[in-house]
Structures are given as structure tokens and as C-alpha cells.
Amino acid sequence: MGDVLRGAFFIALAAVAIDTYYRIRALIRETHYHASTYGALPSPLWELSTVLFPLPPVPSWGFSSFFSVEGRASRA
């Protein structure tokens, strides 16, 4: 019984760690989007976070350009 509880504890701990990791990545992406949209300079914390949590490259045909008028005109 003790082994089952210990296993369940570590599974729950891993789930919390994974959830925290993805929440931090989402916060970093939101911060990066806001900074790139409004022209703010990246902070040293942002530079450190890109090393700790690297973001995958964004395709040039991203969803926003796919649904925008300018994006449709450039693909035509």
C-alpha cells in the first residue's frame, strides 16, 4: 500500500512539474509577443528565459497571416 501511495505521489509531482513548465513557457511567449508588438526592448530576464526555455521557430506563414487580407494577397 505504501508503494502505491508513493508512486501516486511521484506521478502527481511530475504532473505538477510538467504543468508548471508549460505555464512558464506560455507566459514567456505572451511576454515576447507583447514586447515584439509594442517595441519594448527585451530584458535580461527575457534573455535568460530564452536559454532556459527555448521557443520553437514560428513559421513565416503563421496563422495570423493566413487569415489576414495582407496574407491572402501575398499568397495569391
DSSP string, 2-54: HHHHHHHHHHHHHHHHHHHHHHHHHHHHHHHHHHHHHTPPPPHHHHHHHHHSP
What is d(CA 7, CA 37) in angstroms, rounded to the nearest whole number? 45
Residue 66 near residue 36, CB atoms below 8 Å: no
Residue scoring higher pLDDT (16 or 49): 16
User: Any idea where the domains of the chain sit in the sequence?
Assistant: 2-75
pLDDT band at residue 9 under the 50/70/90 scheme: very high
Higher pLDDT, 74 or 31: 31
Give 11's pLDDT tier (boundaries 50, 70, 90). very high
pLDDT at 29: 76
pTM confidence score: 0.42
Mean pLDDT for the chain? 69
pLDDT digits (tens, 9 = 90+) for 13-38: 999 888 888 888 887 777 766 666 65
